[in-house]
Amino acid sequence: MIPIKAFVAAAVLIVSTTTAWAEVRIQEVVSPGGITAWLVEEHSIPFTALEILFKGGASLEPAGKRGATNLMTALLEEGAGDMDSRAFAAAADGLAASYGFDVYDDSLSISAKFLTENRDQAIDLLRLALTEPRFDQDAIDRVRAQVVSVINSNLLDPGKIAGRTFDQLAFAGHPYASSRDGTLETVAALTREDLIAAKNGVMARDRIYVGVVGDITPDELGKLLDTLLGGLPETGAPVPDMAEYQLKGGITVVPFDTPQSVVRFGVEGIARDDDDFFAAYVMNTIFGGSGRQSRLMEEVREKRGLTYGVYTYLVPMDYGALYLGSVSSANDRVGQAIDVIRDEWAKLAKDGVTAEELASAKTYLTGAYPLRFDGNGPIAEIMVGMQKTGLPLDYIATRNDRINAITLDDIKRVSKRILRPENLHFVVVGKPEGVESSE
């Protein structure tokens, strides 16, 4: 690669942001080669956590190649450069470095952890995995068999069936409609060339975000970034179209012989950059997002003992959004659980929340926020998420103000806009008694 500013020391911009409790001092580091990373120096423990995210992920693969990104990602650690998979694993073990590779619908992420004293070797090994993976045929066949095993197992897992069914109904025709593992057919057909194409499409420098926390200086990091990522292609695959939400209100029962029905329910959601996202976030906390304290937990579990857990979550993906919930209840009681959820859903859509609920959600959310910054790895991950979402360097300091600014009217507006009880759809996997598919 051609360095943009050869031999120039890493450019550094520092924003200190003091939350109520902790100070997270984020520096923006631009490498001599022009790669940007956010860094928090933490020299008290001699290791570094490195988080890399490539925006795009499995949604970038062509329709007939479903599962290519997933299989490719699983093979990154299975041999690189002149090392086969065993030699690679032995080298990583010997350095006590750990590398995690994960693929999602909208991203591919790498989480690495390495000691200060063998940092150069650990980075060199990771560089090999990112830039010179071998994709040997025997490794492809071995890992493919593992993926097939996962696909087969998911076909018989009620939770997975529920999630997959909801996605299919919601986003038919879009990559979001299918599992990124691929199907038995598509995975069987994948070739080495498909994996190389998937890698070059996903792991490119025009879509990369980096967060680093630990025992490393800006200068050291600048050099490291160029070594590690300089060899990746400049540009990757084009992004997919927006996903059109197609699901109407109702119930879909997927018959499955198991004692407890597993339910996925939801409506279309709200984008992360929507002006109402924070209002929706607070609404969800009150409704089903905060665990034991949520309305749904109170009504479905605490008052009626109908489930071990009921949760809701906002799913703002890059090309579509969902507002989802999940619950599991014995086959003879799940109908009752669905009725309670439907009633609560309608009530929230109509009346919003109380002043007391809003106040306690705010104390909870603002108090809990600083507790997220606990350890090098979690902070690196938060910084990458902020960059991907386009949040500014000083976001951490302003985030609680944004939560505190939400009013009862905001919640009422956003509840009305998102919840739409007539659109609420339940997918029920099991042998539910007295629950039938609509239409």
Partner 1 sequence: MRFFHLAVMALTVLSRPALAQEISTFKLENGMEIVVIEDHRAPVVVHMVWYRAGAADEKPGVSGVAHFLEHLLFKATDTLKSGELSDTVAANGGSDNAFTSWDYTAYFQRVAADRLDLMMTMESDRMRNLRLTEEDIATERDVIIEERNTRTENSPDALFGEQRRAALYLNHAYGIPVIGWKHEMEKLDLPEVLAFYKQFYAPNNAILVVAGDVQPDEVLAMAKAHYGPLAPTVDLPKRARPTEPPQLAERRMAYEDPRISDPYVIRTYLAPERNSGDQKKAAALVMLAQLLGGDANTSYLGRKLQFETQTAVYTSAFYSGKSLDATTFGLVIVPSHDVSLADAEKALDDTVVAFIKDGVDLEQLARIKMQLRASTIYEADDVQSLARRYGSALTSGLTIKDVQDWPDVLQAVTPEEIIDAAALLLDKKRAVTGWLSAPKKEGASQ
Residue 99 touching partner 1 (CB under 8 A): no
The helix, strand and coil proportions of the chain, stated in percent and rounded to the nearest 5, come to 45, 20, 30
Neighbours of 184 (CB within 10 A): 14
Residue 173 touching partner 1 (CB under 8 A): no
d(CA 276, CA 273): 8
Residue 376 touching partner 1 (CB under 8 A): yes
The CB-of-423 to partner 1 minimum distance in angstroms stands at 28
d(CA 301, CA 173): 37
| Site map (CB under 8 A) of partner 1, residues 116-145, x = contact | -xx--x--xx---------------xx--x
Residue 302 touching partner 1 (CB under 8 A): yes
Find out whether 392 and 37 touch, Cβ atoms under 8 Å.
no
Residue 234 touching partner 1 (CB under 8 A): no
The CB-of-211 to partner 1 minimum distance in angstroms stands at 15
Residues 260-279 that bind partner 1 (CB under 8 A): 260, 262
Closest to partner 1 by CB, 308 vs 398, is: 308
Residue 95 touching partner 1 (CB under 8 A): yes
| Site map (CB under 8 A) of partner 1, residues 48-87, x = contact | -x----------------------------x---xx-xxx
Find out whether 263 and 426 touch, Cβ atoms under 8 Å.
yes
d(CA 159, CA 429): 8
Binding-site member from 364, 391, 397, 421 for partner 1 (CB under 8 A): 364
Residue 94 touching partner 1 (CB under 8 A): yes
Binding-site member from 307, 312, 387, 415 for partner 1 (CB under 8 A): 307
Segment interacting with partner 1, rule: CB under 8 A, options 103-111, 200-208, 366-374, 386-394: 366-374
Residue 368 touching partner 1 (CB under 8 A): yes
Find out whether 269 and 315 touch, Cβ atoms under 8 Å.
yes
Query: What would the two tokens of residue 311 be?
Result: 């949760």
Binding-site member from 7, 234, 238, 292 for partner 1 (CB under 8 A): 292
Binding-site member from 231, 249, 250, 309 for partner 1 (CB under 8 A): 309
The CB-of-32 to partner 1 minimum distance in angstroms stands at 25
Instruction: List alpha helices for 241-375, DSSP H.
Output: 277-284, 295-296, 334-351, 355-368
Binding-site member from 257, 356, 401, 439 for partner 1 (CB under 8 A): 257
Query: What would the two tokens of residue 419 be?
Result: 């919840």
Tokens 């998937």 belong to which residue?
198
Binding-site member from 3, 5, 21, 100 for partner 1 (CB under 8 A): 21
Q: Where are the beta strands (DSSP E) in 118-231?
A: 208-214
Distances (CA, A) of 182 to 69, 147, 292, 309: 9, 9, 35, 29
Residue 113 touching partner 1 (CB under 8 A): yes
d(CA 299, CA 344): 8
Closest to partner 1 by CB, 120 vs 436, is: 120
CB neighbour burial string for 323-357, b if at least 16 within 10 angstroms, e if fewer: bbbbbbbbbebbbbbbebbbebbebbbeebbeeeb
In DSSP notation, 233-273 reads -S--PPPPPPPPP-PPSEEEEEE---SEEEEEEEEE---TT
* Pairing, β 208-214 against β 36-41: parallel
| Site map (CB under 8 A) of partner 1, residues 377-406, x = contact | x-----------------------------
Segment interacting with partner 1, rule: CB under 8 A, options 51-59, 93-101, 242-250, 271-279: 93-101
Segment interacting with partner 1, rule: CB under 8 A, options 148-156, 163-171, 346-354, 417-425: 148-156
Nearest residue to 320 via CA among 390, 245, 393: 245
Residue 189 touching partner 1 (CB under 8 A): no
| Site map (CB under 8 A) of partner 1, residues 314-333, x = contact | --------------xxx---
Residue 188 touching partner 1 (CB under 8 A): no
Residue 363 touching partner 1 (CB under 8 A): yes
